[in-house]
Structure 1
Amino acid sequence: MNILEQYSEDYSINFRPRFKLLHMASVKFFGINKTWWQTNWHFLIIIPLLMFQFVTMWIYMYNKLSQVQIYEIAYLLPPFLIAIQGFIKAIVILPNRVKINTIIKVLGEMWRAENLTKIQKKNKAAIFKKLNIYNSVSLWVSAVGVTQYLLTPLIETMVRRLILNQDCEMLLPLSCAYPFDSGYNWIVYLGVYALQIFSMLLWVFFYTGPEWILVTICALIGSQMILLRDDILHMTPLTNSEINGNVKRKSKSGEIPLYVFVNRHQKLIMLCQQLDEVFNRMIFASLLFVGIITCFFRYAGKFSRGPTYMLNNYTAVFASLLQVLHLCYYGELLSGASMSIGEAAYQNPWYNGGTTYQKTICFIINRSQTPCSLTSMRYARITLNMFTKAYKTTKENAVEDD
């Protein structure tokens, strides 16, 4: 993570909280002079514990399926699906850390923090403001939801047993078929509870962390494209002699040369393609599971044991939809920003320039006809329309359940 210090502060500050979150799950970026063993030895401990927890959840749920206890299955399935999605996202991000590092490095090297116009500073600040709001809201919603979900059973058990002196069952956040009695005594109970908290937190880190990295990179690339849009809109047309260097022309303050613009534009397009190559399978999994997870969380909320458990489930519904909303929003931002470069180039008075300038502008317009976008399995583009469809599907399923 120290590599980020060599880039502009307004760039690196966007990645530090995300890397810190994934670091808690032993997913490290920018390992300098570290061997594979030094970087990944933690997984020799983490993976067996997670697999043990996952298998016990699966066995318990299978037993309930055979007994046709649908209400309890509705309560068990959401965390089970989050665990599956956490595994999928871990499988996506772990082998692709080098590619993600490369994207972040290239974007950091071409990051623009100086010599910006007032409009560019305003547009850049607006994107950062929305990104910071998203980060704060999603972080707090996830933190509050996970804390409630994991600690509510423990608090209820302690209150009923230690204060009310009731001989009640020792509740756990996750129902599992352990090969021993998890409620044998307080030591065993608290040990199992700690294992479940550890496992669930790791799954949540894997569930949310890669999505935050994706959204952050997408927002930063989109901001750079919006800067290029303003550059090409106000670029002064050049004659062939000026482009070839035979005639010198004094540039306006903040104006970049045409060849620099083309180079940056091509690099941003390349970064978008690399970003989609890394994350398109993860995006497919997110969209596939969001409808199922939210429906079951909502179903579990209807038949919860009390208002606290109901709040836990509805918080999870909100957090899941919020995550997909922001993914689709920044996918829309990226597509719109890339296409707006072509529109701005068309509005530029290119007809006053030489033939070389005109051909370059035509190339930029043509290149911008195909928007840069995130996709699901390289098929469906991620836009706000995608979120609308996902939300309608979830709502229709909820109405059918009612």
Structure 2
Amino acid sequence: MADFDKEGAKNEIAESLSLSTSCMQQIGFSFKRPNRFATYYRQKLIFILCVCSICYHLFSEVVIIGLTLFNSPRVEDVVPLLHIVGYGILSIAKVFVLWYKKDVFGQLLDELADIWPMSPLEKEAQNIKNKSLSGLRIAHQWYFWLNISGVWFFNITPIAIFFFRTWRGQHAEIGFVWMSWYPFDKQQPVAHVAVYLFEMFAGHTCVMIMICTDLLFTGMASHIGMLLRLLQRRLESLANVCKTDEENYEEILTNIKLHQRLIRYCNNLEEAFSLVNLINIVLSSINICCALFVIVLLEPFMALSNKLFLGSALIQIGVLCWYADDIYHANAKVASAAYNSFWYKTSPRCRRTLLFLIQRSQKPIAFTAMKFTNISLVTYSAILTRSYSYFALLYTMYSDS
């Protein structure tokens, strides 16, 4: 790809991931090193503060769970704490992977620019590209605002409860955003304000980490699916016009090389996110189950916040499974597209070469959870089923007690 085209491709890719990049900047993270030293060290300081805040936030939640189990091990006391801890664990795992695989993600974005489809494209191919980018942009915006609204409803709920109870003439005190442990008396006025601001910051940081990593993954996965569909289009039009045998052979080789690059790219992306995917799959059922339990049976004042949390949890694991499933089926359809082409108009050499592409396409491309299981919409269905089973168990324990 020419330097001019590659620069244009990088700009289009950056625009499609603009929300993810914006969230990364809020936690002091970037794939590019800033030119100015002051900017670089300010970015590092913000990143360290964000990581330390969510680490202590998780630690304090775990301590509270331990104290609660020791003093009052009742279901209704412990369950409301679990999904917050699960969300914190997932956030720490994602920010660790984002930092540890920083160079890998930067390389993947650079490689994507090399195979990015640039204008002029034929009408059908341009429609595929436009539809994919438009759908991705809408999905990212909905996901972003749902998560942001969820965390800020949590942040303002204690204040809203205070004004509501004051309006009703009841005794009211401003509480805290989360149930956390601190090595000092957090009820003192100055400490109360400091803790409240810290908990708002920690919650916001967790959400920013979740959003930026999820949007990065779904954006890159969406682009892989788009490129696979464009490859299908190219294969379907193979030998549709009069070309020499050598031209058809070169076109087939080009398509095979593109398919191999997409497979390699997908495998690299899968390897980078594999650990996070495993933690996500394991914790999602618990997070969904506990949030549902709290909504149905406990904390009426927190109902709206927890409903937004539940919606975010469902969508978060749902989009992961959706895009993984999309790539799985898009790769399978490459074989069908090659078979539906005008291969019978080509020479035996072209047919034999095309057969290798068909055979390779029949081998699935799948995102996995550390190779334990392939991720697809079937996985999503299993997570929802498991969540309901856990909820039924908790409901039985709560009813018996």
Q: What's the TM-score once normalised by structure 1's chain length? A: 0.88
Aligned residues of 1:239 and 1:355 also touching (Cα < 8 A): no
CA distance in 2, matches of 1:325, 1:119: 29
Which one is further off, 195-204 or 41-50? 41-50
Which one is further off, 290-299 or 49-58? 49-58
Aligned residues of 1:339 and 1:369 also touching (Cα < 8 A): yes
Corresponding residue of 1:171: 175
Aligned residues of 1:237 and 1:353 also touching (Cα < 8 A): no
Task: Identify which of 268, 293, 297 aligns with 2:287.
Answer: 293
Corresponding residue of 1:258: 252
Aligned residues of 1:239 and 1:357 also touching (Cα < 8 A): no
Superposition pairs of residues 174-213 of structure 1, within 5 angstroms: 174-185=178-189, 187-213=190-216
CA distance in 2, matches of 1:368, 1:270: 13
Q: Deviations over 1:375-402 (max 9, x none)?
A: 1112322111111111121123323434
Q: CA deviation at 1:100?
A: 0.8
CA distance in 2, matches of 1:87, 1:179: 22
Q: CA deviation at 1:160?
A: 4.4
CA distance in 2, matches of 1:282, 1:228: 29
Corresponding residue of 2:3: none
CA distance in 1, matches of 2:11, 2:51: 35
Task: Identify which of 86, 100, 107 aligns with 1:102.
Answer: 107
Supply the RMSD in Å over aligned alpha carbons: 2.7
Superposition pairs of residues 228-267 of structure 1, within 5 angstroms: 228-236=231-239, 242-243=245-246, 257-267=251-261
State the AA in 1 paired with 2:59. V
Aligned residues of 2:54 and 2:92 also touching (Cα < 8 A): no
CA distance in 2, matches of 1:240, 1:144: 57
CA distance in 2, matches of 1:109, 1:153: 50
Task: Identify which of 316, 319, 337 aligns with 2:312.
Answer: 319
State the AA in 2 paired with 1:174. W
CA distance in 1, matches of 2:292, 2:124: 44
Percent of residue pairs bearing the same amino acid type: 18
Corresponding residue of 1:22: 24
Q: What's the TM-score once normalised by structure 2's chain length? A: 0.88
Aligned residues of 1:170 and 1:189 also touching (Cα < 8 A): no
Corresponding residue of 1:341: 334
From the superposition, tell whether residues 270 and 337 of structure 1 become closer, same or farther in structure 2 (CA, over 3 Å).
same
Corresponding residue of 1:117: 122
CA distance in 2, matches of 1:229, 1:77: 45
CA distance in 2, matches of 1:266, 1:362: 14
Structure 1 unaligned segments of length 5 or more: list them.
244-248
Superposition pairs of residues 1-400 of structure 1, within 5 angstroms: 6-7=8-9, 9-31=11-33, 40-67=44-71, 68-157=73-162, 160=165, 167-185=171-189, 187-236=190-239, 242-243=245-246, 257-306=251-300, 308-400=301-393
From the superposition, tell whether residues 366 and 39 of structure 1 become closer, same or farther in structure 2 (CA, over 3 Å).
farther
CA distance in 2, matches of 1:368, 1:305: 51
State the AA in 1 paired with 2:52. P
Aligned residues of 1:160 and 1:166 also touching (Cα < 8 A): yes
